[in-house]
């Protein structure tokens, strides 16, 4: 179960629990400025911060999403959208699904089959699943 804003993740088994707060404005800006690509211009930075709601992983992946699709012009000192009609991804799930969909067919099928096995799995089990793929 994924916790919503302001909710705490409760692991199924006892263990260490760490509560992470969303990044605040100055920290968000610092993160976006520190990424290897040119820093996004002010309007894009604001749109990313609003959409990501302080989630640093989502902020970084949103920029990767835009660059991977050629929707970000990084030729100047500041990264800019190639069109005003560009729509930012609505969720981190949307970003991850789009990245999986962009993989070559054979790799995509392997990732999809591996995903049902969980975080940790025996490669022989995956190999057995894949041997039945036409």
Query: In a structure prediction context, what are the per-residue pLDDT tens digits for the chain, which is 134 residues long?
Result: 445 555 555 556 667 777 878 888 888 888 888 876 666 777 888 888 889 998 999 988 988 888 888 888 888 777 788 888 888 888 999 998 988 888 999 999 889 888 888 888 888 888 888 887 55
Residue 25 structure tokens: 């404005």
pLDDT of res. 108: 92
pLDDT of res. 5: 57
Q: Measuring CA to CA, how many Å separate 69 from each of 34, 48, 88, 89, 99? A: 21, 16, 12, 12, 10
Residue 1 structure tokens: 């179960």
Q: Which residues have a Cβ under 8 Å from the Cβ of 84 and sit 6 or more positions away? A: none
Eight-class DSSP state of 2: -
Residue 54 structure tokens: 């302080």
Q: What is the pTM of this model?
A: 0.67
Secondary structure class of 40 (helix, strand, coil): strand
């Amino acid at each position: 179960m994924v916790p919503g804003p302001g909710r705490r993740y409760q692991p199924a088994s006892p263990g260490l629990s760490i509560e992470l707060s969303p990044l605040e404005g100055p920290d968000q800006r610092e993160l976006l400025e520190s990424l290897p690509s040119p820093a996004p211009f002010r309007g894009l930075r604001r749109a990313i911060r609003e959409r990501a709601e302080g989630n640093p992983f989502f902020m970084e992946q949103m920029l990767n999403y835009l660059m991977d699709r050629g929707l970000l012009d990084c030729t100047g000192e500041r990264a800019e959208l190639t069109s005003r009609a560009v729509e930012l991804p609505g969720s981190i799930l949307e970003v991850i699904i789009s990245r999986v969909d962009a993989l070559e067919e054979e790799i995509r099928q392997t990732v999809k089959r591996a995903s049902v096995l969980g975080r940790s799995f025996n490669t022989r089990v995956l190999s057995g699943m894949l041997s039945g793929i036409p």
